[in-house]
Amino acid sequence: MFESVLVANRGEIAGRIVHTARALGVKAIAVHSGADADLPFVAEADEAVLIGPADPVRSYLNVPAILEAAHRTNAQAVHPGHGFLAEDADFARAVAGRGLVWIGPPPLAAARMSDKINARNLMKEAGVPVAPGVWEPVPDADTAAEEAERIGYPVMVKPAAGGGGIGLAAARDEPGLRAAYATARAHAERLLGHGDVLLERYVEGARHVDVQILGLADGTVVALGERDCSLQRRHQKIAAETPSPGILPGLRERMLAAAVRAGEAIGYRGAGTVEFLVDPAAQEFYFLEMSTRLPAEHPITELVTGIDLVEQQFRIAAGEPVSFTDASPHGHAIEFRVLAEDPQQFRPSTGEITVWEEPVGDGIRIDAGYAEGTTVTPHYDSLLATLCVHGDDRAHALRRARAAVDAFHIEGPRTNLAFLSELLDRPEFADGTYNTEIVGRMRPHSSIAR
């Protein structure tokens, strides 16, 4: 095992990695922007290095500054967390080129999954179910219209690169398709550097289900269960739970096996997520994309399996065997993303946190990026903390979730805690029959028109 690790991220995920590093006796080195100097992860680390101003391009996305910080602190490894440079194959290569241990997948695996069209083709070859769609970039709107007729409406239009739902929209007819194509192409060119766009069948009433995989040092790939991530706003996840209430045992078995095949097909190592769209009525599933990083939803997988996924990442990167032999899940876990956002419009909210009172009790876990007296700035995403609960079964977990959300008290910036409380009152969430359209029904103005 290496003796020190530099955490190339911020907030809740940086603190999460620092926690495991220190538990393993590994020196934890934080990097931070000027805006984040007072955040908890900086104080919790064994050493902290200022790498730039608030602008993420000049700090958390500043590869030379991060590598220089690793050099100055004699870091032996780099963990990228999630977001920022976590899935950047060039950053991974740069880290390895400095003789440092990269705590992530092989750069080639990340690069192959970063292009969604290439990923679709690879998954089809590996025998992973893929929705009807295109197998190469769609060059213009006229071609898109022809392909949509072949695929059959409704279709999903999205940039071939990137993630987080950027530029993604559904189209139900040709006018809607042409508008969605123009939006996706513009987003792709402006934010991703090229305008490649793909089309695939839109699954009505779908559930978004992720499978957590680990690619071990010996080349074996294992699946650690699934997470239902269907509760999203603007295609970004707000809540997740495991196991998925919409998955029958036979479908679960097929989905986990498909996720293992996906990881094996690209020689995956470390923690990753294979994401599927599930048709609950037909009990079928289709490959969506692969996230080549530790996911933000990993805590609930840890709660039901008892496995520290960050520890396993460390061990795999060091070429060591993992520390578990049994990954069987126990009970039910739910995660909520506590966000600094207006609970009606989902617009970011900033300012000093004047009150931060966390819920406590059995089965409650909070990974926090902020604390009382710290300030939420406009420079980064709105995630304040992940609130997770674990229970003997789903009903037990829901009771604990209600108590935890009601007891979480934050003053200063507005938060989405009121929305989470409203969500827990929704019958389709309570009975587990919800799908990716639930937020659109709760806040029609907040979601991309279907």
Q: How far is CA 301 from CA 223, 333, 346, 403, 441, in A?
A: 11, 8, 27, 21, 28
Instruction: Please tell me which residue in 16, 120, 252, 293 is annotated as part of the active site.
Output: 293
Length of the chain: 450
226-253 in b/e burial notation, b at 16+ Cβ within 10 A?
A: bbbbbbbbebbbbbbbbbbbbbeeebbe
Tell me if 3 sits within 8 A of 76, measured CB to CB: yes
- The verdict on whether omega for the bond into residue 154 sits within 30 degrees of 0, i.e. cis, is yes
Quick one: three-class SS letters along 9-75? CCHHHHHHHHHHHHHCCCEEEEEEEHHHCCCHHHHHCCEEEEEECCCHHHCCCCHHHHHHHHHHCCC
Q: How far is CA 102 from CA 91, 97, 215, 228, 299, in A?
A: 10, 10, 14, 29, 22
- The verdict on whether omega for the bond into residue 243 sits within 30 degrees of 0, i.e. cis, is yes
> Which amino acid makes up residue 302?
E
The rounded distance, in Å, linking the Cα atoms of 372 and 410 is 8
Q: Nearest 5 degrees, angle CA 168-CA 81-CA 371?
A: 100
Question: What tokens appear for 34 in the block?
Answer: 């000027």
Active site residue 293: yes
118-149 in b/e burial notation, b at 16+ Cβ within 10 A?
A: bbbebbeebebebbebbeebbeebeebbebbe
Tell me if 299 sits within 8 A of 365, measured CB to CB: yes
- Residue for token digits 């089309």? 199
The rounded distance, in Å, linking the Cα atoms of 128 and 139 is 26
Spell out where 172-243 has E strands.
Answer: 197-201, 207-215, 221-228, 232-233, 236-237, 239-242
Give the number of other CB atoms < 10 A from CB of residue 180. Answer: 27
The rounded distance, in Å, linking the Cα atoms of 166 and 179 is 15
Tell me if 265 sits within 8 A of 292, measured CB to CB: no
The SS3 assignment for 8 reads: coil
Tell me if 384 sits within 8 A of 296, measured CB to CB: no
Rounded to 10 deg, the angle between the 249-265 and 116-125 helix axes is 110
Catalytic residue numbers? 293
